Amino acid sequence: MSNIYFFLDGLFVHFLLQICPKSNTKVKIELTIELSESMLDSEGNIQEGLNEAGCIAAIEAMKHLDTDGSAIEVGGKTWRTKGQYEKAYQTPYGEVVVARHVYQSAGGGKTYCPMERNARIVVTSTPMFAKQISSKTANGVAREVQRDLRENHKREVAVSYIQNLSEAVGSIVQAREESENYEPPEIDSKIASVGIGLDGTCMLMCEEGWREAMVGTISLYDDEGERQHTIYLGATPEYGKKRFLERLEREIKQTKDRYPHVTVLHPKQIDEQKQWLKESCHQLKHDFGSAENLYNQMVQAIGEKELTQTMRENLQAAITYFRNHLSQMDYAQFRQKTYPIVSGVTEAACKTLVKQRLCCSGMRWKERGASIILSLRALVLTSTRWEQFWNKLDQYGFLVAA
């Protein structure tokens, strides 16, 4: 048992640290915090005190994952400790300095730190702090993340560290995109159909100007046509359409394998800008065979002399569209079977996945930075995938980051 004292901006905080000597798996911390006549000030004092307590516990947790200094086997070689060396690490509660064993083989060369491997350290961050930083970066720029940490968590972190840490996590996400198989969330309703959407939206690149980023969605619907879950995919222009489509196909295959008896649909966009189509949309949506009827009416109308050249060109485009997609426009029948008939989910994904984060005022992107953000953001937006990603890395380690 040991007493630890801190002075935080004039605030006296007392900690009583006790470690169970038998199991060495429990840390007991007692702290005394001075209260104020202002509840807001008291809460600030409480947060600072809890952060300090968190730092103390984090140090003990990392020490618990270190070796006792004995020789270890790594890659068929015997490694021996060079001693305990101090190093600073970032935690959700603050920066801590930990003395940990550093190993080296008999032949010299690179060193190895078992504590960092066992604690799943990313760059110099604990896994929970890396998770928090990368999640916040998926939703806002680094300076906003810095401000949020300062104001809401009493954590002062450099912008460059936020960027480097997020890039490290994003690199791991991208490395696992090709092989990862995420489980969907638990859904009470029976999944009856799957809607697949593919779209693109422009973003401003540093060197190439405006380029199209790819967006894909795979939505699960119950037997009443209610959307239960959506998988988001995104890729920057430089990724290439072929690679993105391969990723989408893998996700579709995994979904088919998971729900072998559902109907898989590829909904297409309706051109709502045509006035005549707006007037006919109710009929198109509710009446059987209306798409074919509208197509026949347009074919007959194309020969009318009253049409201007522009009107004729627009009508011809509509005829071509109907002819190419007639089999996909039997909306009344689709609705009777509770299939989704619009691509609003995918169109909304263009905004939520790309526009809201990558197209803010003054933003220009390099491919590397944009691809990192899109990978993080797609994972964060897809329900339960973010937690699954971190659970697996906690289990198997950060081999890519190492």
With 70 as the cut, is the pLDDT of residue 289 above it?
yes
Closest CA to 193 of 227, 163, 154, 243: 227
Residue type, position 192, single letter: A
pLDDT (average), residues 43-70: 93
Q: Tens digits of per-residue pLDDT, 201-210?
A: 999 888 888 8
Q: Tens digits of per-residue pLDDT, 127-186?
A: 999 999 999 999 999 999 999 999 999 999 999 999 999 999 999 998 888 778 898 899
Residues 219, 227: contact at Cβ < 8 Å? Answer: yes
Rounded CA separation 212/215 (Å):
10
Structure tokens at 36: 């104020």
Of the spans 20-34, 207-221, 293-307, which averages the highest pLDDT? 207-221
Q: Tens digits of per-residue pLDDT, 133-142?
A: 999 999 999 9
Residues 98, 86: contact at Cβ < 8 Å? Answer: yes
In degrees rounded to 5, what are phi and psi of residue 360?
-75, 165
Q: Are strands 72-74 and 94-105 parallel, antiparallel or unpaired?
A: unpaired
